[in-house]
């Protein structure tokens, strides 16, 4: 049975004694934390992290990686917080444990198969330190080895996840041994019937093949001897899952796959590899186009070898791989093999691993081969993307720093344009929140909703920004045309006419004089306040009469006209306040209270001021600002807030402006329907003992 002592003993040959002590300390901590917990098999829980650490010890991983393996379930299963691990050990170990726990919380179940690749990417993206992945792979390996203890449903889910996510990740990292074991265990657990059928067929075929394999192996060995090359020659077994996968993906029959004879030749050095290749091509005729030199041009995951296919006796195809022992180790252990080889040098292993990956990036740049692995490793080295889910489990990749607005536009422009709110992991969240990898984002839309200019402050993706700008421009144009039409028809009505009644020539002449392409353009200019409605009216009617106040009454304001009619921020008018409109160039009509100080100077500029009134049907909330002078007491802000909300008014902002020991001044911005509503709120506030004075702030 595996114990901490046997693990420590196996570390003797590559770790310093004081580092082994730290590993032991991590073991004791984990053992204590998991006290009383058992695995589904009934064994004490600590046997699992110990086994995971031992798998990593076989790969000669560093002491931090082993400590993280021992502690990997402590945060999740025993509730020990990260900062305790950081204090007890070090922050790197704590980061590793935390990273593994985060990976675990991503739920893989019920996700569509087509998404598997994105999960692989996401898994890599979420791990800032590649050792997190190595611990996770070892964890999964041990779970797969002990899968029998679980019930059918759980077993299938874990097996599927292993085949779809973890085995391919091991493959990307070049960890062939890990990949093969995960695939074989996953295949048996997920498809017990298919795997046992293939296994039986392989055993039957192997009996028939034995003699042929022996003959070929013998002739290869004889040939190498003649050339004076010392080598080890192995017949390669095909694994069940890879046979199944080939049958399925390449639509080959079982016998087509089994009829290939595969051998591996291990020789001392690179030079000998090429000499061996020459010898083999002399022994049997090579198949044209099948020779690959992965020694001169390694695969992106670091794999090196020579591959060739020969026509053997009776035309049987023979696949040959030729490599050195070091290449063999890298081929089997990939990423981890690198540790295995260089763990005696001074610099820490994970730093060297990063250099190794950077080296791979250079290989990729120089050869121009764009293998996916590189893309994924790049994400790990330079994380610049986040991966988020739709509620249905589709994955979108977005630039780092993206917000729900970016996500909404990534899904569809219409979703972005009509977005009003969002949920992140089922909780309502601001549209400006920064998204993290792995979260689920749900966008809430409303028919007729429109983008807000404020979104440009936090949308970062090009698609979202250009769509918002486009929509705003369009929105402002439509609104200004509509407002311009209302303004112009209103003044025309005072002369008992309307745009429809005017002859086309007159309109065309005025458009030409005013340098407008068409009527919409002129109306938009009026709506934006760049042209005066009554000036255009006189022009249209070729009247010289003075502007006179219309009998049809002032323009009715709803407060929901959009970008071209806005309430002034200085005096914050609300329905019930007497108001006037200020036609402000480029901004449309700005509504002020008629006592607003900013309007005093404009009184005698009739071009810029127009009479307006509240539409009786107005049904909308308006902001208003109150200044409360009060005797300060503890909890006063909470009391104010509940008093205001009890009157059904929304608080938009509340803040203490001044405060000494006794007196305080509080500023509140609330949303109310009209003056009656405001009066109710004020009345209720006056009942509070501590309030001395209430002022509605204007300017």
Residues marked active site are found at 76-77
Q: Does 406 bind Mn ion (CB under 5 A)?
A: no
Q: Which stretch binds Mn ion (CB under 5 A): 139-147, 179-187, 388-396, 638-646?
A: 139-147
The span of 106-114, 137-145, 457-465, 589-597 binding Mn ion (CB under 5 A) equals 137-145
Report how far residue 28's alpha carbon sits from residue 15's, in angstroms, rounded to the nearest whole number: 19
Minimum CB separation from Mn ion for residue 47, in Å?
11
Binding segment for Mn ion (CB under 5 A), chosen from 112-120, 133-141, 379-387, 438-446, is 133-141
CB of 176 to Mn ion, least distance (A): 23
Closer residue to Mn ion (CB): 137 or 567: 137
Is the Cβ of residue 51 or residue 243 nearer to Mn ion in the bound state? 51
Asked if 174 and 301 count as a contact pair (C-beta separation under 8 A), the reply is yes
Stretch in the footprint of Mn ion (CB under 5 A) among 138-146, 428-436, 514-522, 599-607: 138-146
Q: DSSP letter at 452?
A: -
Distances 692 to 153, 632, 633, 678, 684 between C-alpha atoms, Å: 68, 11, 13, 18, 13
Q: Which residue is nearest to Mn ion (CB)?
A: 139
**Minimum CB distance to Mn ion smaller for 143 or for 531:** 143
Q: Which of residues 560-589 bind Mn ion (CB under 5 A)?
A: none
Question: Of 364, 368, 389, nearest to 377 (Cα)?
Answer: 364
Determine how β-strand 261-267 pairs with β-strand 317-323.
Answer: parallel
Q: Which of residues 299-338 bind Mn ion (CB under 5 A)?
A: none
Task: Tell me whether residue 43 or residue 621 sits nearer to Mn ion (CB atom).
Answer: 43
Least Å distance, CB 336 to Mn ion, is 18
Q: For residues 139 and 164, which CB has a smaller minimum distance to Mn ion in the complex?
A: 139
Query: How many residues in the chain?
Result: 699
Angle between helices 130-145 and 63-71 (to 10 degrees): 50
Q: Of all helices (H) and strands (E), which one includes residue 521? A: helix 519-527
Q: Where are the beta strands (DSSP E) in 239-330?
A: 261-267, 285-286, 292-293, 306-311, 317-323
Residues whose CB falls within 8 Å of the CB of residue 198, separated by 6 or more in sequence, listed in order: 240, 243, 244, 254
User: Given the complex with Mn ion, which of 55 and 522 has the nearer CB atom?
Assistant: 55
Minimum CB separation of residue 94 from Mn ion in Å reads 17
581 beta partners: 591, 610
- Going by their DSSP bridges, the two strands 555-557 and 609-614 should be labelled as parallel
Taking contact as CB under 5 A, which single stretch among the options 69-77, 202-210, 447-455, 547-555 is the one that binds Mn ion? 69-77
Q: Is 139 in the site for Mn ion (CB under 5 A)?
A: yes
- # chain residues binding Mn ion, by CB under 5 A: 2
Nearer to Mn ion, 73 or 164 (CB): 73
To Mn ion, the closest distance from the beta carbon of 460 in angstroms equals 37
Phi-psi region at 333: left, alpha or beta (left = phi > 0; alpha = psi -120 to 50):
alpha
CA-nearest of 620, 570, 621, 605 to 591 is: 570
Radius of gyration for the alpha carbons in the chain, expressed in angstroms and rounded = 38
Q: Which is nearer to Mn ion, 76 or 245 (CB)?
A: 76
- Nearest distance from residue 89's CB to Mn ion, in Å? 18
Burial group, residue 310, by CB count within 10 angstroms (0-12, 13-18, 19+):
buried
Between 41 and 560, name the residue whose CB sits nearer to Mn ion: 41
| Residues 27-66: x where in contact with Mn ion by CB under 5 A, - otherwise, as a string | ----------------------------------------
Q: Measured from the CB of residue 353, what is the shortest distance to Mn ion in angstroms?
A: 23
The nearer residue to Mn ion, 51 or 649, going by C-beta atoms, is 51
Shortest spacing between CB 424 and Mn ion, in angstroms: 27
Shortest gap between Cβ of 11 and Mn ion (angstroms)? 20
Task: Break the chain down into helix, strand, coil percent, rounded to 5.
Answer: 50, 15, 30
In the complex, minimum distance from the CB of residue 125 to Mn ion, in angstroms, rounded to a whole number: 21
The whole-angstrom separation of Cα 546 and Cα 535 is 10
User: What whole-number distance in Å separates Cα of residue 304 and Cα of residue 378?
Assistant: 21
Considering Cα of 134, then 138, then 144, then 150, what sign does the dihedral take? negative
Q: Is 563 exposed, middle or buried (0-12, 13-18, 19+ CB in 10 A)?
A: buried
Distance of CA 579 to the CA centre of its chain: 48
73 binds Mn ion (CB under 5 A): yes
- CB closer to Mn ion out of 139 and 406: 139
300/291 Cα distance (integer angstroms): 18
Q: Of the listed pieces 3-11, 131-139, 343-351, 382-390, which binds Mn ion according to CB under 5 A?
A: 131-139
Smallest CA-to-CA distance from 430 within 459, 462, 467, 465 is with: 459
Could you tell me which of 688, 608, 698 has the C-alpha nearest to residue 646?
688
Return the SS3 of 121. helix
445, 420 Cβ separation under 8 angstroms: yes
- Minimum distance between the CB of residue 217 and Mn ion, rounded to whole angstroms? 42
Please give the residue ranges that form the binding site for Mn ion (CB under 5 A): 73, 139
């Amino acid at each position: 049975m595996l114990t901490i002592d046997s693990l420590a003993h196996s570390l003797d040959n590559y770790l310093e004694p004081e580092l082994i002590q730290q590993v032991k300390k991590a073991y004791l901590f984990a053992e204590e934390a998991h006290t009383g917990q058992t695995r589904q098999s009934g064994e004490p829980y600590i046997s699992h992290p110990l086994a995971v650490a031992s798998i990593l010890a076989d790969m000669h991983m560093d002491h931090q990686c082993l400590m993280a393996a021992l502690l990997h379930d402590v945060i999740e299963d025993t509730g020990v917080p990260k900062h305790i691990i950081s204090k007890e050990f070090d922050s790197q170990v704590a980061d590793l444990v935390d990273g593994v726990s985060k990976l675990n919380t991503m739920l893989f179940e019920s996700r569509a198969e087509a998404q598997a690749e994105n999960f692989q990417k996401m898994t890599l993206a979420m791990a800032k330190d590649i050792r997190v992945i190595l611990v996770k792979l070892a964890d999964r390996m041990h779970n797969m080895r002990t899968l029998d203890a679980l019930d059918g449903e759980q077993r299938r889910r874990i097996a599927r996840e292993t085949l779809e996510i973890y085995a391919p990740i091991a493959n990307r990292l070049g960890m062939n041994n890990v990949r093969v074991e995960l695939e074989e265990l996953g295949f048996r657990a997920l498809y017990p019937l298919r795997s046992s059928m293939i296994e039986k067929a392989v055993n039957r075929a192997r009996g028939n093949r034995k003699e042929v394999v022996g003959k070929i192996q013998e002739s290869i060995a004889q040939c190498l001897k003649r050339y004076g090359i010392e080598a080890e020659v192995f017949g390669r077994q095909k694994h069940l899952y890879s046979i199944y996968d080939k049958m399925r993906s390449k639509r080959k029959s079982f016998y087509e796959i089994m009829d290939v004879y595969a051998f591996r030749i291990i020789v001392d050095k690179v030079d000998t590899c090429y000499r061996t290749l020459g010898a083999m091509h002399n022994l049997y005729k090579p198949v044209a186009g099948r020779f690959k030199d992965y020694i001169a041009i390694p695969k992106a995951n670091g794999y090196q070898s020579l591959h060739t296919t020969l026509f053997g006796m009776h035309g049987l195809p023979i696949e040959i791989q030729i490599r050195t022992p070091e290449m063999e180790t890298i081929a089997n252990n990939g990423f981890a093999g690198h540790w295995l080889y260089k763990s005696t040098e001074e610099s820490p292993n994970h730093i060297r691993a990063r250099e190794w990956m950077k080296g791979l990036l250079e290989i990729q740049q120089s050869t121009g081969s764009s293998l996916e692995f590189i893309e994924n490793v790049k994400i790990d080295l330079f994380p610049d993307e986040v991966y988020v889910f739709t509620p249905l489990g589709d994955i979108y990749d977005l630039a780092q720093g993206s917000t729900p607005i970016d996500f909404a536009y990534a899904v569809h422009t219409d979703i972005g344009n009509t977005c009003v709110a969002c949920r992140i992991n089922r909780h309502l969240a601001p549209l400006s929140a920064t998204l993290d990898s792995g979260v689920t984002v749900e966008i809430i839309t409303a028919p007729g909703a429109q983008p807000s200019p404020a979104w440009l402050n936090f949308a970062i993706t090009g698609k979202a920004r250009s769509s918002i700008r486009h929509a705003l421009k369009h929105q402002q144009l439509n609104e200004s045309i509509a407002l311009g039409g209302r303004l112009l028809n209103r003044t025309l009505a005072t002369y008992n006419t309307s745009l429809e009644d005017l002859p086309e020539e007159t309109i065309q002449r005025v458009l030409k004089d005013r340098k407008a392409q068409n009527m919409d353009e002129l109306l938009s200019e009026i709506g934006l306040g760049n042209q005066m409605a009554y000036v255009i009216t006189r022009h249209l009617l070729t009247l010289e009469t003075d502007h006179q106040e219309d009998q049809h009454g002032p323009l009715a304001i709803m407060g929901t006209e959009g970008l071209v009619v806005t309430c002034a921020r200085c005096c914050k008018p609300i329905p019930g306040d007497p108001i006037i409109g200020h036609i402000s160039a480029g901004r449309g009509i700005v509504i002020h209270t008629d006592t607003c100080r900013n309007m005093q100077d404009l009184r005698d500029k009739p071009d810029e001021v127009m009479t307006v009134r509240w539409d009786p049907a107005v049904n909308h909330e308006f902001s208003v600002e109150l200044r409360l002078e009060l005797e300060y007491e503890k909890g006063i802000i909470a009391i104010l807030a509940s008093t205001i909300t009890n009157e059904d008014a929304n608080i938009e902002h509340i803040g203490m402006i001044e405060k000494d020991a006794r007196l305080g001044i509080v500023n509140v911005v609330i949303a109310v329907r009209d003056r009656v509503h405001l009066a109710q709120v004020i009345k209720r506030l006056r009942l509070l003992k501590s309030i001395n004075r209430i002022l509605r702030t204007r300017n």
